[in-house]
Amino acid sequence: MKHNLTVYNTLTRKKELFKPLKEPFAGMYVCGPTVYGDPHLGHARPAIVFDLVFRYLKHLGYKVRYVRNITDVGHLEQDLDEGEDKIAKKARLEKIEPMEVVQYYSDRYYHFMELLNVERPSIEPRASGHIIEQISMIERILKAGYGYVVNGSVYFDVEKYNKSYHYGKLSGRKLEDLIANTRELEGQAEKRNPVDFALWKKAPPDHIMRWSSPWSEGFPGWHLECSAMGTKYLGEEFDIHGGGMDLLFPHHEGEIAQSRVANGKDAVRYWLHNNMITINGKKMGKSLGNAVTLEELFSGKHPLLEQAYSPMTIRFFILQAHYRSTLDFSNEALRGAEKGLKRLMTGIELLNKLSPSENNQDPGSRIKDLVASCYAAMNDDFNSPVLIANLFDGLKMIYALKEGKMKLTTKELMQLKELYDTYVFDILGLKDETSADQSETVDELMNMIIKMRKNARDKKEWDQSDQIRDELAKLGINIKDTNEGATWEKE
């Protein structure tokens, strides 16, 4: 495959040329949501970022298998013996079955991801459906000598692991520092060392989510599912593992250790991490109580929101920042994204209406250059903000064509159209929202009204024409007079 895509590998802290294990195949695993709450803006970022990666890899010609899990068990609320997992807690609070909670929030997640035009991954495995694989992995870890059983729970022996491997190599930590900084938490008596983590937890009597295992009735530890499912669907070694930066430690560190000893090799070749979304400079997080859900965002019903923002505005907003930078949320920034996206879409609409000029009059290599810089941006660790800047630059060319200040041959115009089509819709995954829900009847009615207004205008009956415009404005319909006649738009 010919390309020079470089990706920033958290493991090496460098950009590296992307070379998959088995061309033309590429395998990617991304940590998905824990389905115990409504999806919020924070969920949108990794979903959109890795959707971009997925789309671009496919565009380059790879046959991509993209696996994104749904976490529906485990994830202890606290690392305490009596800790219960989030889903069980939510279920108890709402007096429903845990799987009901899981079903409900999974559906919500899928619904909102679809609105954001996030493509469904190739496989979306659930932790609860892979208990057998997880148990088998624990057995392999025990067999390798890196786990120990206490009272029906199984723990990973981090200190022993660190003697042969480097625990903390992904997050840049040293075990001594970790041990020195471990907080004193209660109920850790079972562990040999506070840095050890659970592979299997024996369920307390009142814990509702439980499965039988060789050690106890219980549930798997919280790093295990990703190791087990990644191995199952992508093999013992695969190309990309993605997730939020907040998962770097300890989640991904745990994954590395588990896979290493269970499979005898490092599983992941490129670790990619998206940065966080901040709100007033602080990380947005469910546990911090400052998360804005996607539903609130799309409806505008949240104290922080001055208006509703469409799914594509959110998508564009996220893509306008590089995935490894924090992205600060504000109404002003969001409004800016909304306007910018509209400008881009209007330009594309115009482009599609343009016809080529007969004579080829020095188009230069501007289109070739534009195409090249778009590829260069994406090949540079998926630099979507630079890509978008290039697309805005190209807009000037489109308007110059319209004004007749520039001429393009049929072939060149086709190339330009193809560029926008490919990059805006296929790769960035944006879509035009404006004309989405107009029925034919409405269209024809509006054409009729515009015609009537034009008649009035032709007769210079300004009172009449302004009245039509004002009345429509009250209905949220804006008339825009252009040189080619009037168009309308619903707010």
- Phi, psi dihedrals of residue 15, rounded to the nearest 5°: -80, 130
222 binds RNA (CB under 7 A): yes
Report the DSSP pairing between strands 327-329 and 477-482: unpaired
Which residue from 437, 266, 461, 425 is spatially nearest to 348, judged by alpha carbons?
425
* Binding region for RNA (CB under 7 A) out of 53-61, 69-77, 203-211, 294-302: 69-77
Total interface residues for RNA by CB under 7 A: 90
Contact between residue 440 and residue 448 where contact means Cβ atoms under 8 Å apart: no
**Per-residue interface string for the shown chain with RNA, residues 35-64, x marking contact by CB under 7 A:** --x----xx-xx------------------
For RNA, give the closer residue by CB, 288 or 304. 288
327 binds RNA (CB under 7 A): yes
Q: Is the peptide bond before 24 cis (omega within 30 degrees of 0)?
A: yes
Contact between residue 305 and residue 325 where contact means Cβ atoms under 8 Å apart: no
Residues numbered 226-255 forming contacts with RNA, rule: CB under 7 A: 243-251
304 binds RNA (CB under 7 A): no
Q: What is the smallest separation between the CB atom of 13 and RNA, expressed in angstroms?
A: 7
Task: Please give the single-letter amino acid code of residue 450.
Answer: I
Q: What is the smallest separation between the CB atom of 296 and RNA, expressed in angstroms?
A: 15
Residues numbered 438-457 forming contacts with RNA, rule: CB under 7 A: 457
Q: What is the smallest separation between the CB atom of 426 and RNA, expressed in angstroms?
A: 20
Q: What is the smallest separation between the CB atom of 400 and RNA, expressed in angstroms?
A: 7
Indicate which single residue of 89, 210, 302, 342 sits in contact with RNA (rule: CB under 7 A): 342
Contact between residue 318 and residue 48 where contact means Cβ atoms under 8 Å apart: yes
Q: Concatenated DSSP letters for 75-125?
A: -BSSSSTT--BHHHHHHHHHTS-HHHHHHHHHHHHHHHHHHTTPPPPSB--
354 binds RNA (CB under 7 A): no
Give a three-class secondary structure readout of 169-234. Answer: CCCCCCHHHHHHHCCCCCCCCCCCCCCCEEEEEECCCCCCCCEECCCCEEEECCCHHHHHHHHHHH
Q: What is the smallest separation between the CB atom of 146 and RNA, expressed in angstroms?
A: 19
Indicate which single residue of 23, 94, 100, 177 sits in contact with RNA (rule: CB under 7 A): 177
Indicate which single residue of 152, 235, 356, 385 sits in contact with RNA (rule: CB under 7 A): 385
Q: Is the peptide bond before 194 cis (omega within 30 degrees of 0)?
A: no
Indicate which single residue of 310, 346, 415, 422 sits in contact with RNA (rule: CB under 7 A): 346
Indicate which single residue of 104, 149, 193, 336 sits in contact with RNA (rule: CB under 7 A): 336
480 binds RNA (CB under 7 A): yes
Indicate which single residue of 120, 339, 368, 431 sits in contact with RNA (rule: CB under 7 A): 339
Which CA distances in Å does 477 have to 310, 346, 438, 472, 490? 17, 17, 12, 5, 4
**Structure tokens belonging to residue 426:** 């296929």
For RNA, give the closer residue by CB, 24 or 129. 129
Which residue from 34, 47, 32, 44 is spatially nearest to 90, judged by alpha carbons?
34
* Binding region for RNA (CB under 7 A) out of 131-139, 157-165, 299-307, 332-340: 332-340
For RNA, give the closer residue by CB, 123 or 175. 175
For 294-327, give one letter per residue: b (16+ CB within 10 A) or e.
Answer: bbbbbeeeeeebeeebbbbbbbbbbbbbbbbeeb
**Structure tokens belonging to residue 82:** 């009596």
151 binds RNA (CB under 7 A): no
Residues numbered 263-282 forming contacts with RNA, rule: CB under 7 A: 274, 276-278, 281-282
Indicate which single residue of 59, 92, 283, 490 sits in contact with RNA (rule: CB under 7 A): 283
**Structure tokens belonging to residue 181:** 């900084």
Residues numbered 390-429 forming contacts with RNA, rule: CB under 7 A: 392-393, 395-396, 399, 403
433 binds RNA (CB under 7 A): no
**Structure tokens belonging to residue 404:** 């007749």
Indicate which single residue of 55, 68, 75, 130 sits in contact with RNA (rule: CB under 7 A): 75
Indicate which single residue of 120, 143, 265, 343 sits in contact with RNA (rule: CB under 7 A): 343
